[in-house]
Amino acid sequence: MGRYGKSHRGPAAGLIDSQMLSFSEFVDFLKQEFADADDPAPDSGVAAWAQESVDYRSHLYENWSRTDRDNYLPDLSYGYTTEHIGMIKARLYWGGRRLARLLDSILE
């Protein structure tokens, strides 16, 4: 897989694999899930997107310092995944929409 290999697949790839969807099927799934939703920050720039990620990070990783596993890695249990899956899906969907708008504006 090259130098960076699996580390750059990230949680989104695991989410897609666990749902047994192709990437295009997952995109269709997200489009349906968010079809009636309003963009939470339609006119925000890249700096605002980055700040959103920083803000979400503290919530997502707040219990990562607690672990009782032998390898000292956090246990991302079913409960943890269930609690945060909505946020992850929303970030993927809105991030894709924002990136598309940004690329459209550059290429126009």
pLDDT tens across 10-68, in order?
A: 555 566 666 677 778 888 888 888 888 888 777 778 888 888 888 888 777 776 655 66
Mean pLDDT of the chain: 75
Residue 106's pLDDT is 92
How far apart, in whole angstroms, are the C-alpha atoms of residue 81 and residue 77? 6
pLDDT tens across 46-55, in order?
A: 888 888 888 8
Place of tokens 């708008």: 101
How far apart, in whole angstroms, are the C-alpha atoms of residue 64 and residue 60? 8
Task: Yes or no: say if 75 and 69 are a contact pair by the CB < 8 Å rule.
Answer: yes
